[in-house]
Amino acid sequence: MHSSSGKSPAAAKQPAAKSAKKVSSKSSKKKPAKSAGGGKGSSGTLFPKRSKFPKHHRGRLRGISSGDNRICFGRYALQTLAPAWITSRQMEAARRAMVRHVPRSAKIWIRMFPDKAVTGRPCEVRMGGGKGPQEYWVAVVQPGKILYEMAGVPESVARKAITVGASKMPIKTRFIFNEKTI
């Protein structure tokens, strides 16, 4: 006869069909991924999760690096010789280039982070209207700062990989190594 709840078998099956319909509709609809930092198709790039102030002053590129100028984690490193803004895209391009030239056993550390937002105005826009929206994120680096570190590979392999990564950077850099065994 009927179930103990007092509903007919057809009525008991109806809510299950609706819930199955909901599950299938959720799986078929996917939301597009948000771009990182408001850039143009900048997926996979680094940027802060949140920032206290959305827009920064331009600042000046002065001085030398005092704290980040020693190798801390790896055995080989890429060190800057000039001040610059390094974008998150340049950082990712250099990292990918280095990863392609080393085996999986190698370990690579990124010692910089793009925490400064750079704004821009569209072309042919009249004066006024305030500061423009965020275009991309940069890491402000000073001469002597370590950008990348590497360990777990021979010196010849590390030198080649870091040289390839250095070619993606907008400034002069040099390959350095720690003589102590780690």
Which is nearest to 138 in space by CA: 167, 113, 110, 170? 113
The three-state DSSP-derived secondary structure of 128-169 is CCCCCCEEEEEEEECCCCEEEEEECCCHHHHHHHHHHHHCCC
Q: Please state, for a pLDDT cut of 70, what percent of the chain lies above it.
A: 75
What does the pLDDT read at residue 68? 87
Give residue 53's pLDDT band: very low, low, confident or very high (50, 70, 90).
confident
Task: Catalogue all structural domains in the chain, each as residue range(s) with its CATH number.
Answer: 71-121+139-182 (3.90.1170.10)
Joined tokens for residue 66: 């005092």
CA–CA gap between residue 88 and residue 139 (Å, rounded): 7
Question: pTM of the prediction?
Answer: 0.72
Joined tokens for residue 97: 């280039």
Q: Which of 49-53, 75-79, 178-182 has the lowest mean pLDDT?
A: 178-182
CA–CA gap between residue 153 and residue 75 (Å, rounded): 9
What does the pLDDT read at residue 14? 55
The Cα diameter of the chain in Å comes to 87
